[in-house]
Chain A
Amino acid sequence: MRCLAAAVVAMVMLPVVPAGAQMAAAGAHGADFSGVWTGHRLPETRSFSGWAFHEELPPMTDWAMQRYAMAKPTFGPTSVTVADTNDPVYQCFPPGTPRIYFHPFPMEIIQLPGRVMMVFEYDHLIRQIYTDGRGHRDDLAPGWMGDSIGHWEGETLVVESTNFNDKTWVDRRGVPHSEQLKVLERIHINDSGLLQIDVTVEDPIAFTQPWTGQRFYERVDWTVEEFICMDNVTFLDFEQEVLQFGE
C-alpha cells in the first residue's frame, strides 16, 4: 500500500499537464467516486457477467467474426484450458478497456484536480481520465488501455477513450476490436449506491452498429493489494501436472 501511495504521489508531482490545462483543472468534480470498488454482479446476469456484457454476441462484422472464430478464450461457450488459450492476457498483456472491468479484482478511484484515476489491482494497471478540458493526444501510437478524456454532466462522469491497439479483446470470451475502437462511458452512483458504468462500444471495422453494456461496482473498505500477472506462470505449471497425469 505504501508503494502505491508513493507511486501516486510521484505521478502527481510529474509535470505531465500543460500549464493551460492546469488552470482548467481548478474546477471541482461533479461527484465523489473516491475509494475502493469491487465488481457487483446482478443475480440475473451471473451466468455470463464474469466474461461478457451479454450472453448474446455483439453485432460483429465479417471481419470480427473471422477473428472471433480464431479466438481461444478460457471463458464462455468456446472455452479451452489455460494451456491452450491464445488470450493475450495470458501472455500478461493488459486486458484493455472495457475488458479490464471483467477481471475480478477491485479498483481504487482517486480524484485529483482535473483528473480521475482508476487504479486496478489487476496487474496494477492505471487509467487516467483527464477532466481538465484537454483533447485526445495525437502524438502517441495506439495503446492497450486507450487515451481517456472526460467531463462531468452533473454527477455523471462522461468518458471517451480512443487510440487503442487491436491486440486486446472487448471481453473475456474473445470478441475482437480494431484500432478504430471508441469506448464511451457514463459513470455515476445509482440509487442503489452502486457505481454504474454504462458503456457504449463503437468500432465500424468490428461491429455493424454501436452496442451497449453495463458494469456495476460496490464500495468496499479494502485496500488495493498486489496482483502480478506473471505469477500466473506458477499456476500454469500446476495445471499441466494435473492435465498430464498418467501420461
Chain B
Amino acid sequence: MRSLIKTTVVAMSLVLGSGAVLAHHGASVVYDLSQSLTMTGSVTDFQFVNPHVLIFFEVQADDGTTTIWSAGLTSPNRLARSDGWSKDMFQPGDAVTITGSPARTGAPSLWVDQVFDGDGNPLLGED
C-alpha cells in the first residue's frame, strides 16, 4: 500500500535540524528520525491539544484508494507563541503537505518536521 503512495525521502540532516522533531519524548523509538517522508492530502481532523498537536489528513494514492495519516508535533502553547497557530488553524478539507519522520512500524504516521498550507507556505519556523 505504501508503495502506491507518493513519497519523498530526504536526508537525515534536514530532519535533525528541527526542534519540533526533537521535542517529543522517545520520538526516536517510535519514529525513524533518519528518514523523511512528505505526504499531501486534505485535513480530516485537527486536535490543538496538549501535550502534542495532532493533524489527521486523508491521502489519496494513485489507484484512488485513500488512507488517513496522522502527524504529531509539539505542544499547542509553543506553536501559538512561536508560529501563531490557533485552534482554528485547520478546517476539515483544507489542503496540507506535511514533511516528517515515518513511523518505524509502517503505520501511516509522521513526526512533523514541517507543515505547508495549500499554497505551499511553510507554517513552522525554525526552533
**What is the interface of chain A, defined by CB distance below 8 A to chain B?**
50, 74-75, 79-82, 85, 104-105, 121, 220, 222, 225-228, 231-232, 234-235, 238-239, 241-246
Contact = CB atoms under 8 A, between A and B. Distances in A.
Given A241-B107, A242-B109, A227 B50 contact: yes
A109 B48 CA distance: 27
Contact of A79 (B23, B29, B70): B29
Interface residues of B, number: 25
B29 A235 contact: no
A246 B22 contact: no
B41 interface: no
Interface in B86-115: 103, 105-109
Contact of A245 (B22, B23, B52, B105): B105
B54 A246 contact: no
Contacts of A75: 25-26
A245 B107 contact: yes
Nearest to A90: B25
A222 B50 contact: no
A45 to B, nearest CB: 13
Contacts of B52: 235, 238
B16 to A, nearest CB: 10
Contact of A234 (B25, B26, B49, B108): B49
B75 interface: yes
26 contacts: A74-B26, A75-B26, A79-B28, A81-B26, A85-B26, A104-B78, A220-B81, A227-B50, A227-B51, A227-B77, A231-B49, A232-B51, A235-B51, A238-B70, A238-B72, A239-B30, A241-B107, A242-B103, A242-B105, A242-B107, A242-B109, A243-B105, A244-B105, A245-B103, A245-B105, A246-B106
